[in-house]
């Protein structure tokens, strides 16, 4: 399983639930049981006081995954730092719009539980 932020990006600023994204950015804070990201590793970056491995795959849209090398149960992050890390590596164009932000877990095998005490996103 993983615990991650999920950012959805589109080429238009009026995207809704019917529009397929062009890109998805996953920020894995914690992973257990051998879970791993989609795609190929493209390097590493230091952001938010931690080291992250960057992966990219394709499922009809590009999936960019930042996998934290050391699991954590708490994080305060500037999500724009992650998008700009992709732009600097030419893995993401700088003309995309963030249409949604989620946080949660994906359980790949067995059962799991996530208790969230607080979750917030400030835009501006």
Tens of pLDDT, residue by residue over 99-110, are: 999 988 888 888
pLDDT surpasses 80 at 47: yes
Beta bridge partners of 54: 43, 66
pTM: 0.92
Q: Is the dihedral of CA 29, 4, 74, 99 positive or negative?
A: positive
Spatial contact of 13 and 97, defined as CB atoms under 8 Å apart: yes
4-8, 26-30, 100-104, 111-115: range with lowest mean pLDDT = 111-115
Share of the chain above pLDDT 90, in %: 70
**pLDDT given at position 23:** 97
pLDDT surpasses 90 at 61: yes
> In angstroms, what CA-CA distances link 45 with 4, 18, 57, 84, 118?
17, 33, 18, 11, 26
Tens of pLDDT, residue by residue over 75-94, are: 889 999 999 999 999 999 99
Give the Cα separation of 94 and 91 in Å (integer): 10
Q: Is the dihedral of CA 31, 33, 39, 43 positive or negative?
A: positive
Domains of the chain listed by start with CATH number: 2-13+20-106 (2.60.120.180)
């Amino acid at each position: 399983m993983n615990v991650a932020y999920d950012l959805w990006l589109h080429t238009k600023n009026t995207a809704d639930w019917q529009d397929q994204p062009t890109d998805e950015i996953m920020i894995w804070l914690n992973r257990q049981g051998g879970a791993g990201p989609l795609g190929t590793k493209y390097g590493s970056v230091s952001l938010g006081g931690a080291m992250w491995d960057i992966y990219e795959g394709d499922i009809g849209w590009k999936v960019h995954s930042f996998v934290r090398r050391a699991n954590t149960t708490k994080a305060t992050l500037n999500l724009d730092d992650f998008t700009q890390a992709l732009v600097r590596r030419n893995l993401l164009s700088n003309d995309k719009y963030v249409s949604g932000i989620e946080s949660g877990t994906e359980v790949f095998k067995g059962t799991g539980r996530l208790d969230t005490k607080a979750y917030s996103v400030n835009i501006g």
